[in-house]
């Protein structure tokens, strides 16, 4: 198989290296990532400046080709599939992100949005995140073992290209890992809150503070609490905005109103 790998942490992030090392066991890997960190940039694309591309040789493998670009994670997927890669891609992977992407995070995450961009190309995609927040001190060895186990299972049959799989790994020791769980997104948690900071000149600033470690949720079977318990969560996410359920109702209401006005 041919895989495209991207992320929002940047081309030199340790999570990219860990993901590539696992994917090499299954096929050829093409890496296209931002040249700098693009966390929480959501699904933005670059419109008003040109994008530069640099071909790199980061992985010392004939199985891996890599580029960095001066764009967003969504730019990476578009540019890779439309210009840079000449071979057909089977699956797009985004990650492994530093920090989990659970609950409301999916609206802000560049990692999730890169995987969603692949859906626009009718390709199956997987977003991968690790619940650790210090790239200098994080060890990916356990995560790589669980990822290999996960991929060995999902590659047994074709992935559904109508959804992306959002996979979040806990940052725990091997004996504390409880396995994989299919989980809903927990939208009940307001993970980030603005705090006020005063400088020495009396200027007031506002900073988003992550309260994850200090809060709990009542939804124990959703992704937020399952990660805390040591599970890896898998959430299938659809990318569809139109409500088919309501479209006929609105259509009928509008037509009824028009008919009555004509009378």
| Region 46-59 average pLDDT | 95
| Region 119-124 average pLDDT | 96
Give yes or no for a cis peptide into 186 (omega within 30° of 0).
no
For 146, the 3-state DSSP assignment is helix
- Give the per-residue pLDDT at 135: 84
Strand partners, 196: 206
H or E stretch including 145?
helix 141-154
Q: Is residue 42 within 8 Å of 57, Cβ to Cβ?
A: no
The chain-wide mean pLDDT, for the chain, equals 93
- Give the per-residue pLDDT at 212: 80
Question: Is the pLDDT higher at 165 or at 256?
Answer: 165
- Give the per-residue pLDDT at 258: 58
Q: List pLDDT tens digits, range 170-195.
A: 999 999 999 999 999 999 988 888 99
User: Which pTM does this prediction carry?
Assistant: 0.92
| Region 229-236 average pLDDT | 98
Q: Is residue 147 within 8 Å of 19, Cβ to Cβ?
A: yes
Residue 229 CA to residue 161 CA, distance in Å, equals: 30
Question: Is the pLDDT higher at 250 or at 93?
Answer: 93
- Give the per-residue pLDDT at 230: 97
CA-CA-CA-CA torsion sign (15, 152, 101, 119): positive
> Which residues does 219 contact at the CB level (< 8 Å), separation at least 6?
184, 186, 188, 225
Residue 42 CA to residue 113 CA, distance in Å, equals: 6
């Amino acid at each position: 198989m041919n895989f495209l790998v991207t992320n929002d942490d940047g081309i030199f992030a340790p999570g990219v290296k860990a993901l590539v090392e696992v994917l090499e066991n299954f096929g050829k890997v093409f890496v296209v990532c931002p040249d700098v960190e693009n966390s929480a940039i959501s699904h933005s694309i670059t419109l008003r400046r040109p994008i530069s591309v640099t071909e790199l040789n980061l992985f010392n493998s004939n199985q891996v080709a890599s580029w960095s670009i001066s764009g967003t994670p969504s730019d990476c997927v578009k540019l890779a599939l439309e210009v840079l890669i000449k071979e057909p891609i089977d699956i797009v992977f985004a990650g492994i992100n530093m920090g989990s992407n659970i609950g409301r995070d999916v609206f802000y995450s560049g990692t999730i949005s890169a995987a969603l961009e692949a859906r626009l190309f009718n390709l199956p995609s997987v977003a991968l995140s690790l619940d650790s927040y210090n790239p200098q001190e994080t060890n990916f060895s356990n995560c790589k073992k669980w990822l290999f186990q996960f991929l060995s299972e999902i590659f047994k049959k074709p992935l559904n290209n109508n959804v992306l799989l959002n996979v979040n790994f806990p940052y725990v020791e091997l004996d504390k890992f409880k396995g994989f769980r299919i989980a809903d997104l927990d939208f009940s948690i307001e993970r980030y809150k603005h705090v006020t900071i005063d400088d020495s000149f009396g200027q007031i600033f506002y900073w988003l503070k992550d309260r994850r470690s200090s809060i709990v949720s009542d939804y124990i079977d959703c992704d937020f609490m399952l990660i805390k318990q040591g599970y890896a969560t898998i959430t299938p996410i659809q990318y569809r905005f139109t409500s088919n359920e309501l479209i006929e109702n609105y259509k009928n209401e509008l037509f009824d109103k028009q008919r009555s006005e004509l009378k």
